Chain A
């Protein structure tokens, strides 16, 4: 099923999110602004072929934004390697994103802290132990318990 989303409403609703995402990945403000424009050029040019039965509008625009950032990082060689989360194709569906976000938010604080520090900040478990002032063994145990809880939450 195809729809042609209105350009103005798309820009109005998503430009802030696109800019925020690009800004979190690209250090040059000027390049980030250019990339933001590039994303919307791609969005407008592919709007006719957008299939809403395959992905929500948000997922579609996120995918275009993410791929634009990956192409930029590769061309600029800003980093020797792409961040792990950008290295592979995204497999997170809208439903999984919501379910996993809710599950992480529902973790006990001591486990949630570890998940955020590990997967948002990219710290190692040893770094997290030092930062939290607890033993590495305790961090490993809480990390494992959190992953088990999250797996069980998604399986429901």
Chain B
């Protein structure tokens, strides 16, 4: 069983099984802080299109150059 589980998670890196990927992400987030949770302040900076507002600012600055 332990060999199968090692193979399972190795193959998971390739297959991306939906429920298992969610379980892995959940554990990484809770124990290693690898989640992508944004604070309220950071959420305010995300545009409706889902892009951080700072990207737009940088693009405008590039145009000025």
Q: Which residues from chain A sit less than 8 Å from chain B, CB to CB?
A: 17-18, 20-21, 24-25, 58, 62, 65-66, 83-86, 88, 90-92, 96-98, 100-102, 104-105, 112-113, 115-121, 131-132, 147, 150-151
Q: Is B1 within 8 A of A92, CB to CB?
A: no
**12 pairs across A/B with beta carbons < 8 Å?**
A17-B14, A58-B14, A85-B10, A91-B4, A92-B8, A101-B17, A104-B20, A105-B20, A115-B5, A118-B5, A119-B6, A119-B8
B residues within 8 A CB of A131? Answer: 31
Residues of B within 8 A of A18 (CB): 14
List the interface of chain B (C-beta within 8 A of A): 1-17, 19-20, 22-24, 27, 30-31
- The list of the 9 closest CB pairs from A to B, nearest first, reads A105-B19, A85-B6, A85-B10, A119-B5, A101-B17, A120-B9, A21-B14, A116-B27, A101-B20
From A58, A104, A113, B15 is in contact (CB under 8 Å) with A58
Chain A neighbourhood of B22, CB < 8 A: 105
Other-chain contact of B14, A20, A86, A115 (Cβ < 8 Å): A20
Alpha-carbon separation in the docked complex, A88 to B4 (Å): 11
